[in-house]
Chains A and B, each alone.
Chain A
């Protein structure tokens, strides 16, 4: 359909969208600009001592996680997509469950299980002798293992869809040209799925870079822990900003690498192919496939959940009750507020881009979508530096003009925190709302008009019912992300205002793992909600087509 002219009143809408974009980009721009400013003495010291270590550790961490999520994610995706084995249908969606586990939560659980005085090592000592020890889980290797356990679903999710979309005749063509099944996988199926795998791996690496809880708890020195040390212990905002800027460079390197890996995506035939026949595995092979898929699920979800429940029952009482209710209320307040604002802005941006048909609006929306890649620690520093300066200016001005003692207007309350959340999580809402709007094709709008509905009736009778579920989904996704968020909350929460995530982190850092378990479990339970939604859709696409309710309107 050709593009229709944009009437001029819509210009205002475009300008407002630009303003939103600028507002959200400001903190990140401040951080990026810091890279160009000269550093002080403290920075000179930092950059000669710890900076090389941060870079080295971060690179090893990224490579380790890349290898881990790549192997686990692709293996499970291929088995589930191409083979039939006992438990496949259940595993197909259950393999997503680890996404509900923040990495820092399973870090607490496994530390409790595997520490020197823990049940596993105690048992090993009684069996194999008092001098046998396991390698310490609180290490760089341990962190890689934790991230792999909870982040492989990103690769799994996207690779699985890519494998399912591949026409079976492609691999058959490979076979007819003399490839063994395994060779066909490596030379046909895997290269075709590469863009999807790269996209999934990029998401996993972004999460790894953004993590603070796990690396900090394990004492692994990466950029996020470095930023926090510079900011909170050393009182060096300028150095924190510089470290943030370098971390940002890592993020963009990954984004670019993902773009590069995806450059072939256009060749791919996206037309739904004939339903593929899965290869039925028997005997040992079937057992091996079931085990291979059950293992990541067990390590990433079942075992830590079991450990947390046990800890919670044994020693978590103190955490339940009045204090727990207060923390949950704080978390829910922040999450609800952010979710509502995010959905409102997302609707404004998405609908605006559609009705103005302006390339500028579209560009703003793509740009806002990048916020999800920015680590919370970076956003926190980027928001706090200007906010603190504004607070000081305001306080000085009030003092000078009225002799008033003004409190911290921007940094004292939750406004700055919600602002930081919006920068990071608006992308989630925007994507969901855009997907919902895309289901209302321009021809549907035109059809409603030609059937006698005017523009506002069309909005009420076509757009609203079709969008309702996407708006709810968008709000829910943002809600859950805010509940789980740790680094920005940790730095920016108002004095005496703790959330479940912060509480879990603080208790774990104090070695009070049992008490941390209740808050951790609560976070996991909330995290399960979007997964249940997503897995319903995952299964729905294939198996439930042609049955009752209108699936098409789910975002």
Chain B
């Protein structure tokens, strides 16, 4: 399949500060939804702005469908890239109606075809009938939908979403992220989103890149990021778990133990003391101390309600060993 977006070892720095993107690479296939996941300040929004043509890169190359749009000394203007952007604060134009906003990028179209396209998109995002309202009359979630419709209207070859759900309530965030994914998939849109929320990343994306210090540490499926993290940083940043010092095949390593690797079993001869417990509805997350003093996490169905200080039976069920050289 053709690559819709390639970022090839790009670097970018703001004057007077260190590099924000530093040899960053990534590739998205046509119709794929990718996500850059990372703590704040890791450079993910800057990468997005470089791809949109809002910043000029210092090194490397950005290609859209094989055509170079950014390289040092050349930046194709954002208006001629056909790259849509959904901004974190939505950036809706307050002086235009919803329909005016969605139709803003539809140039050269006849009045009738423009109105038709606007209505089609408002329907796709579940906002039909709201065309005559103004942005200040909309709720956060509605603004988000309008911003998405506006970015999709000119049929961009790539859609970029910058922390699209960070201004929304938690449950709206989850619902909307799944909904946006199905809208994008229905339109066959290639998209790249940026977030610091791993649930959002897992819900939305086919491929997730964990970013750190201007580089992608691992570009993989959500499943692999969780179960087969390539670096300590990824292991630590994605999901819960502890690194336990141990010896494997004669080498001292830190082994990753996820809470679902440590099972509670009353029959097990291995006992562990309950140090902390957190009720999560269906499960308890127990912090346990093993006989040798090591602490691990364990996810246990919540009808196993044990008191702090109690000793309970545990057994390891490690499907695959993830270990890193010890520091």
Interface residues of A (CB under 8 A from B): 2-5, 439, 441, 443-444, 446-454, 461-462, 465-466, 545-546, 548-553
Contact = CB atoms under 8 A, between A and B. Distances in A.
7 contacts: A444-B91, A446-B85, A446-B91, A448-B104, A465-B95, A466-B93, A550-B134
A461 B103 CA distance: 13
B144 to A, nearest CB: 14
A454 to B, nearest CB: 5
Contacts of A466: 93-95
A454 B77 contact: yes
Given A3-B14, A444-B91, A452 B85 contact: no
Interface in B63-98: 77-85, 87-89, 91, 93-95
A452 B154 contact: yes
Nearest to A553: B95
B131 interface: no
Contacts of B94: 439, 466, 550, 552-553
Contacts of A465: 95
Given A449-B54, A450-B52, A451-B150, 5 more contacts: A446-B91, A449-B78, A450-B81, A451-B154, A452-B79
B60 interface: no
B105 interface: yes
Given A4-B55, A449-B78, A450-B83, A441 B154 contact: no
Nearest to A457: B79
A275 B41 CA distance: 35
B46 interface: yes
A449 B77 contact: yes
B95 A452 contact: no
A467 B82 CA distance: 28
Contacts of A553: 94-95
The 3 closest A-B CB pairs, nearest first, are A451-B105, A443-B91, A552-B94
B151 interface: yes
B151 A450 contact: yes
A131 B117 CA distance: 87
Contacts of A546: 136-137
Interface string B31-46: 0000000000000001
Interface in B8-57: 14-15, 20, 46, 49, 52-55
B156 to A, nearest CB: 8
A462 B89 contact: no
Given A466-B95, A550-B95, A450 B85 contact: yes
Which of A439, A452, A546 has the most B CB atoms < 10 Å from its CB? A452
Interface in B87-125: 87-89, 91, 93-95, 104-105, 107
A546 B136 CA distance: 7
B308 to A, nearest CB: 33
Contacts of A444: 91, 93
Contacts of B135: 552
A451 B84 CA distance: 7
A546 B135 CA distance: 10
Contacts of B46: 2
Interface residues of B, number: 36
A466 B137 CA distance: 17
Contacts of B49: 446
Given A448-B104, A452-B105, A466-B95, A552 B136 contact: yes
Nearest to B81: A450
Nearest to B52: A450
Contacts of A550: 94-95, 134, 136
Contacts of B91: 441, 443-444, 446-447
A551 B77 CA distance: 33
Given A441-B89, A443-B91, A454-B77, A551 B136 contact: yes
Contacts of B53: 449-450
Given A551-B136, A553-B95, A446 B89 contact: no
Contacts of B89: 441, 443
Nearest to A550: B134
A367 to B, nearest CB: 25
Which of B20, B91, B104, B136 has the most A CB atoms < 10 Å from its CB? B91
Nearest to A458: B79
Contacts of A551: 136
Contacts of A549: 134
Which of B55, B85, B94, B136 has the most A CB atoms < 10 Å from its CB? B94
B104 to A, nearest CB: 5
A358 to B, nearest CB: 13
Contacts of A451: 79, 84, 104-105, 150-151, 153-154
A439 B52 CA distance: 23
Contacts of B81: 450
A453 B106 CA distance: 10
Given A451-B154, A466-B95, A2 B85 contact: no
A441 B91 CA distance: 7
A4 B78 CA distance: 15
Nearest to B91: A443
A453 B104 CA distance: 9
Nearest to B103: A451
Contacts of B105: 451-453
A453 B93 CA distance: 14
A450 B150 CA distance: 11
A449 B91 CA distance: 12
Nearest to A548: B134
Nearest to A465: B95
Given A466-B95, A552-B94, A446 B87 contact: yes
A462 to B, nearest CB: 6
A153 B167 CA distance: 37
A553 B14 CA distance: 32
Interface in B236-293: none
B158 to A, nearest CB: 10
Contacts of A450: 52-54, 78-79, 81, 83-85, 151
A101 to B, nearest CB: 34
Nearest to A552: B94
A457 to B, nearest CB: 8
B42 to A, nearest CB: 13
B105 to A, nearest CB: 3
A166 to B, nearest CB: 23
Nearest to A464: B95
